[in-house]
Amino acid sequence: MPRKHFYWILTVMLISAFSVWCADPYAGTFRYVTRKVRSHAIRSLSERELFDAGVAGMLASVDENSGYIPPQTYDELNHEFHQEIGTTGILFWKDSVADRFFVGSTLPFSSARMAGIMPGDELLTIDGKSLAGSSSLDILEKINAPIGREITIEILRPASQTKLSFTAVSQKVPIESVKGFARTPEGTWDYLLPTLPSPKQSTSDEIHGNSSNILYAKLDTFGEKTVQEMRQILKKGNREKCRGLILDLRGNSGGLLNAALDICGMFLPEKSVIVNLENAHSDTREPIFSTEERIWEKPVIILQDGDTASASEILAACLQDYGKKGTIQALCVGSRTYGKGTIQEIFDLGPIPDDRYLANENDPKTLWQKIWEKPLRGGFRISVSMYLSPDGHQIHRFPNSKETDEWGVQPNEGWEVSLMDHPDWKKSRKQFLQDWLSINCRKDSGGWPQNEWKHIFEFDLTLKRAMEYFE
């Protein structure tokens, strides 16, 4: 090779290396640290473990809501947003006193219903293993198995005291993000609240009287189908001439921002400001306007608590602001919300190779094949902007925020209610929470007789207070 060609090649290589160093002067240092950790650390660490820790640490430096999403969590997050799970379709509840599990209902068209499992059946075993001493979460994990897996379920049918065995297949089932007040034994939701008992009512009226004609919708999350579900429910409420809506956002930690924005628009006049955005690259506020057709013009009462966060706080703050101005009939009942007023954008990292558990594999070819065998997708989220209510109220709670500072969404004055206000809470918090969870589990599974629905007001003081708005 001519000497001048060699010099040209060397020059190009040096320029390229210098360009890479200028673009990211820390990349080489990071790789150096990685190699030293792998060769000198007291504990053997895989490349994947170092990758997970490095990315997680980098994103944690942004703020408390930015972070790395490892493949398993990323997969679960996608299922939640797409509103799909694998399940046999059994909805069950637990008799905490007897430590037994019963079928409340089965989802329509599910394999459990097609197999013949019926409401009231007692669950005895799953895949031959007794459920005695199991938690509800243990059983839920077995019932919501990977799609295609067969599950053998043994039940006791109370009417005949007969033990029966069924085989059900886990299938892809849509997840409803908008729930009603209670499930019926048929597995469908009833979106109308029972009548609030009053001293003037007889026992017969309370049990056999008509519904309150007040629509109830509980949003557990904001997924891809939430807007469509909410639109259908509101239109149903209009057709049935409901007097108002109770929108339950308790425990809703957020979800897809656009879904929350679209739902806001269903209650507001055209082109109303829903939220104001602020980001680090601009000193100005960017208003976001409603684009959805207004569907609901009757009163809407929002139920909220300390676990109401993010997108659900946008919805609560928006409706409360317009309610205070008299543009719509809306108010918030419950306790102060969580205070997460930042917006995260989720980025897909693509398939991530996995070399964990392969420390003893010496053949390079086999090692490479196993590393890339069924790689799962990962991702990460970064806080990109902060939102304020339509009237400019601060929602985000910073690490140094005080209780007296403006953050979260406060309930309207005079409408503050908490679970801790219940007399039974003060007697025994543990027993009250156990009863509370048991009732809600029966209600959501279809295992609560309709003539007992009125008893919810004895436990749920927030819902009871909201109902008093319509009295």
Query: Domain map of the chain by residue range?
Result: 1-43, 85-174, 178-341+395-470
Q: Which residue in 250, 270, 271 sits closest to 315, CA to CA?
A: 250
The residues with which 248 forms a beta bridge, in sequence order, are 218, 303
The set of long-range contacts for 457-464, using a CB threshold of 8 Å and a minimum separation of 24, is: 457/196, 457/197, 459/422, 459/435, 461/417, 461/418, 461/419, 461/421, 461/422, 462/250, 462/303, 462/305, 462/333, 462/334, 462/417, 462/418, 462/419, 463/193, 463/246, 463/248, 463/303, 464/196
Q: In this structure, are strands 300-304 and 244-248 parallel, antiparallel, or unpaired?
A: parallel
- Cα separation, 213 vs 239, in Å, equals 12
User: Are 104 and 445 a contacting pair, CB within 8 Å?
Assistant: yes
The domain 178-341+395-470 is placed in CATH, from the list 3.30.470.10, 3.10.20.30, 3.40.50.300, 3.90.226.10, at 3.90.226.10
CA-to-CA separations, 108 to 91, 139, 183, 213, 241, in angstroms, rounded: 11, 20, 12, 26, 27
Burial class (CB within 10 angstroms; exposed 0-12, middle 13-18, buried 19+) of 175: middle
Residues whose CB falls within 8 Å of the CB of residue 471, separated by 6 or more in sequence, listed in order: 196, 198
Sign of CA pseudo-dihedral 149, 138, 441, 164: positive
Residues whose CB falls within 8 Å of the CB of residue 105, separated by 6 or more in sequence, listed in order: 91, 119, 183, 184, 185, 186, 187, 445, 446, 447
CATH number of the structural domain 85-174 = 2.30.42.10
Phi, psi of 122 (to 5 degrees): -90, 130
User: Are 205 and 245 a contacting pair, CB within 8 Å?
Assistant: no
The pLDDT tens digits for 44-80 are 777 767 777 877 887 777 777 788 777 666 666 665 5
What Rg do the C-alpha atoms of the chain give, in angstroms?
27
Amino acid at 268: L
CA-to-CA separations, 27 to 17, 32, 40, 76, 136, in angstroms, rounded: 12, 9, 20, 31, 47
Q: Can you read off the two tokens belonging to residue 3?
A: 């000497």
Q: Check residue 281 and report its DSSP letter.
A: T
pLDDT of residue 79: 59
Q: Which residue in 210, 404, 387, 411 sits closest to 305, CA to CA?
A: 411
pLDDT in tens, the chain (471 residues): 444 444 444 444 444 444 444 556 666 777 787 778 778 888 877 776 777 787 788 777 777 778 877 766 666 666 555 555 678 888 888 877 778 888 887 877 788 888 889 888 999 999 999 988 888 778 888 887 778 889 899 999 888 888 999 999 888 777 788 999 998 888 889 999 999 886 555 444 443 344 789 999 999 889 888 999 999 999 999 999 999 999 999 999 888 889 999 999 999 999 999 999 988 666 778 999 999 999 999 999 999 999 999 999 999 999 999 999 999 999 999 999 999 988 777 787 766 555 554 455 555 555 445 544 555 567 788 888 889 999 999 999 988 889 999 999 999 999 999 888 888 887 888 888 878 877 888 888 888 888 888 889 988 999 999 999 998
Amino acid at 114: M
CA 334 to chain centre: 19
- Cα separation, 439 vs 447, in Å, equals 9
CA atoms within 13 A on the CB side of 385: 17
The residue ranges of DSSP E strands in 199-357, in sequence order, are: 214-219, 244-248, 273-278, 286-289, 300-304, 330-334, 342-352
* CA diameter of the chain: 107
The residues with which 136 forms a beta bridge, in sequence order, are none
> H-type helices in 289-422, by residue range?
311-325, 364-371
Helix axes of 3-23 and 27-40: crossing angle, nearest 10 degrees: 80
pLDDT of residue 274: 96
